[in-house]
Structure 1
Amino acid sequence: MTVEKLAPNTAAAGVPFYTPIKTAPAGTALDTGADVPTLFTPLRLRGMTLQNRFVVSPMCMYSTEDGHLTDWHLVHLGAFAVRGAALTIVGATAVTPNGRMSPEDGGLWKDSQIAPLKRVVDFVHSQGQKIGIQLAHAGRKASTLVPWHTTPTCPQVATAEAGGWPDNLWAPSAIAWDEGYPTPREMTVAQIEGVIQSFADAARRAVEAGVDTIEIYAGHGYLLSGFLSPITNQRTDAYGGSFTNRTRLLTSTILAIRAVIPPTMPLLLRISATEWMEHTGQPSWDLAQSQQLAALLPDLGVDLLDVTSGGNSPAQKIRADAYYQADLAGEIRAALWRDGEERLAIGAVGAIATAEMARSMVQAGGTWPAVNVNGEKGRNGEGRNGTVEVDAEEEHGTGAKADLVLVGRQFLREPEFVLKTAASLGVRVQAPVQYLGAPFKLGGAVNGGL
């Protein structure tokens, strides 16, 4: 009798612990050809290639200690990488202490915060996946309490006794978020220049930690978003007034970060495509200006625009059917393509909760299904306030609205969302080798890849 000798398991390289090497990252399609949905085809952004079009959207966890990530983040973020998310983005990470949304938010304003981030990065890389980080400054919406310590009738302000800094909020103009909230300080030019440098310094630390990409957060009424809006930016200097002046802080920040990250590293940007304040009849940030900004981004060094909306005013009125966010992304993408600009990839967001919904957003030539709105409202302001007009049966047309999807809450419900989507769409994909004993069903039979 001949006994076959099996080769020993090979360890993944470049990580400080043992884990089996992956022949392909989880979530990689095992078949090729025209029958594979775009959702499970690769996407290249500069030197980073994603094996599928799923991105874990940045989500605040309010679980750091003095801005340092903890084992919570290792387990929370690592779970998505294990189960097939091609790119996981660490939630809003403050570039200054007063730029945190809450006292428990993450930060990269000092070097001691690099090592805890690197620990998470190393694990994600050990699974063959990519990881990014969203850099942010919360502006006038900083110093708030964590969600589970707030009530609908109580302002969310974190006082000094709760570890907050309500007397040290920064904004383009001294306009409070809402009644009962502190009035921020109008930033001096020196403070504006200092914030630009803080973004660059945080980007340098992120590179040292080994991240694959960086996203700049300029949405939902936080500092960079506040400068874009003529509602919240009433300055009369070089950072206010005209479109060029209101976008100056953002464009300067983009250039400062691009200068300190590798030329092969893609740079992402998240904006609110509209404030949903057109009903006031007053100037506001809207889709047309977002399209104008998007046209500038490729030459500034931005590779992907992550399109969301709202969050800069509690008076917003959102037209919130199932695809209202993706429709905005599609309008921006269409305007770019009409002008012959295809260098800027587009990301779509918005309560993506089903396989068909995710597929339809990136599939060329596909028909968009009708999906009922689930009524969720976002912590960052996407639908939290104002009148919401719902038309769940509106026709959304055909064709791709974006190049990838950024999924948040559904990953919290189903960390295996990528694998379940593949099974639902009939796509064989690579699973974590440690989980091969528990395959999903594909078309009524066991999916060999899963």
Structure 2
Amino acid sequence: MVFPVVVMMGQRLFRLGLLFVTITLLWFGCWVSPGLALTEEQKLFNEAWRIVNRAYVDSTFHHQDWSAVRQKALQHPLKNREETYLAIQQMLASLNDPFTRLLRPDQYRSLQTSTSGELTGVGLQIASDAKTGELVVIAPIAGSPAEQAGIGPADRILKIDGMPTANLTLDEAAERMRGMIGSQVTLTLLRRTGEQVEVRLTRNRIALNPVTTELHTEAGNLPIGYIRLSQFNGNATIELARAIKTLEKQGAQAYILDLRNNPGGLLQAGIEIARFWVDEGTIVYTVNRQGIQDSFEATGQALTQAPLVVLVNQGTASASEILAGALQDSGRAKLVGEKTFGKGLIQSLFELSDGSGLAVTVAKYETPNHRDINQMGIMPDQVVSLEPIAREQIGTAEDRQYQAAVEVLTHQMVLAGAT
């Protein structure tokens, strides 16, 4: 008789519990849910927060409570899209990573274009100095108004049309330098020499064919294939393969690959181009937020085994450093010139629902010998400084770094012949 009573009491208590939960849900549903519903602007902010939460390379998010960052931001109403963008920018700024940034719709489209087609502007690749926050030139694009005006790596951009760059993000600065063909922009620069100058540039269409080639025979009649690669865009892989094959047919017995002032671009293009030169071994390691390493290997299908020297300088960055590091660590090439820029971080692009986007640092890379070159750069095998020279002097007798590369190749060929 006791057991049935206990069961019935248990059922009764269980039903009462359900009734209480149901009433509670109905009560709070009426009053709490409207307060928790996100507006369209908050949804966009939340979308950006989730992308960073899922993909960002540093799981500590610069030693802060990333959930608390979101909660604090959503406590304030976002009245319009501009306020939402500012809130996203403030959130990303807390990471202290200039490469993780918001790209407004026009900026997102421009960045996609710069890696695959053409653009209009002055032709500068820029970065934010990690120590000072100043806007620094990585490199001018070959043939651009910036290069023709003599702007070079490590020049500091203080103002754009009188606007101090200290008040601008990277993308805001880039946007101010872009514009219609024929329009003008004035840059206030601090040269590497310490001289402050104003340079007025006329915007133009920037050609993005990244490969130029010549067959040189001035080194004791040694046929040298000179290849200058200015950017790792969507055309770089096929154009460089075509260049090697053409120079081979012309009789090239050695190569100089010029990566000076090449600011990088597509990671995959850097890997594929390394495979043109390296038969076997690791090209690059990538390390994600969990510390898990992935690697990209050579495929055993190098296009040439001819001796190779790579020219580098302060404007050699990102994918260029991946390629230079792979060639140096594998012993496939000697590096000549100056220490490289030192950007060892990898970004991915994510499109947001309104057409804007995020560039997010998702991993860092290491060379085949596990060198982390971020903010340190790659030291060449032979350091050769070079004062600024005219564009038409690149790869000529007036180019000291090029001449040093020729001497290295000549020495290698003499040793090979003696052997």
Give the structure-1-normalised TM-score.
0.25
Task: Decide which structure has greater helix share.
Answer: 2
Give the structure-2-normalised TM-score.
0.26
The structure with the larger Rg is 2
